[in-house]
Amino acid sequence: MDTARRTPGAPRFLHLAGEQLRWDLLRALAHSDHRVGDLITAVGQPQSLVSYHLRKLRSGGLVTGRRSSADGRDTYYRLDLDRCAELLADTGQGLHPALALVPPTPPAAGSMRGRVLFLCTGNSARSQMAEALLRRRAPHVEIASAGSHPKPLHPNAIAVMREQGIDLSGHHSKHIDEFTGQRFDYVISLCDKVREVCPEFPGHPDLVHWSMPDPSAAGDTPEASYPAFARTADELSTRIGFLLPNLTRTHLTETRRS
C-alpha cells in the first residue's frame, strides 16, 4: 500500500496561506496593521474578496481585529506573527523532521542601525515604553518618541518598565512638532488617532502602524489599569522582537541623504 495515502492531511498553515490573495494579505499585515480599505489598496482586489479571505484568516487564528479608537466603524487587522511561526514550524516538521524550523538567532546589537520614531497621542505610555524597550535591545539605533497631544508620563508606565529593569522616571513627553523635518528609517504609530494626523517626514521613512489600545483607558484608577499596562508591555516586546531583524536590513538615514 502507498504509505503517502495514509499520512495526515496538509498542515493547517498551507490551507490558510496557500491561496494567493490570502498570502498577499498576510504579507501586507506582516508589515503593518491595516483597515479593510488599506488592504483593498494594497492587494488590488474588491472588498468582497478581501473581507471573505480576512474572515478565513481570522477563523484560522492568523489574523486578529480590533475596533479603531479613532473611528469605531473601522477595524484594524493585525497578523499574529507568533502564531504564524508556530504553524510554520509544524508545517516543516510535518514534511520531514530535518525541516523543523530553528528559532532565528537574534541580531547582534552592533549590527542594527538607523533611526526609529514611535508616536502615540499623549506620549505618556505606549510610545515611551516602546522607545525604552527598543533602546535596551538595539543600543546603536537612534530612537525617539512623541505625541500629538503630550501628557505627563503615566505612573503605570514607569512602574511596568521598572519591573523590567528600565527606569523611565527621568523621561518627559514631547510633541511631534519637535521632530518635524527630521529623517527616520521607521515611523511607527501606536494608536489609531495619531495615525490619522501623522505628519509627513522627509526621506520617505517606512510607515508602520501598530493598533494598540490606550492602557490608561482600561480603568478609573492606576490600580485598575495596571494589568492593561502590563499587557501593553508584553505586546510591545513581541512586536519589537519582530522589528529587530528589519533594523539589520534597513536603508539607513545616512544612505537616504546621499
Q: Which of 198, 207, 230, 252 is labelled catalytic?
A: 198
For 73-78, which contacts have Cβ atoms below 8 Å and span 24 or more sequence positions? 74/35, 74/36, 74/192, 75/35, 75/36, 76/33, 76/34, 76/35, 76/192, 76/209, 76/211, 77/29, 77/33, 77/34, 77/35, 77/36, 77/39, 78/29, 78/33, 78/210, 78/211
Q: Is 198 a catalytic residue?
A: yes
- Catalytic, 191? Answer yes
Q: Do 36 and 46 contact (CB within 8 A), yes or no?
A: no
Q: Is 29 exposed, middle or buried (0-12, 13-18, 19+ CB in 10 A)?
A: buried
3-class DSSP state of 5: helix
Q: Among residues 158, 163, 154, 160, which one has the least CA distance to residue 124?
A: 154
Considering 28, 87, 120, 125, which one is annotated as catalytic? 120
From the list 76, 108, 128, the residue with the least C-alpha distance to 247 is 108
Candidate list 50, 54, 191, 236, residue with the active-site label:
191
84 is catalytic: no
Show which residues are catalytic: 120, 191, 198
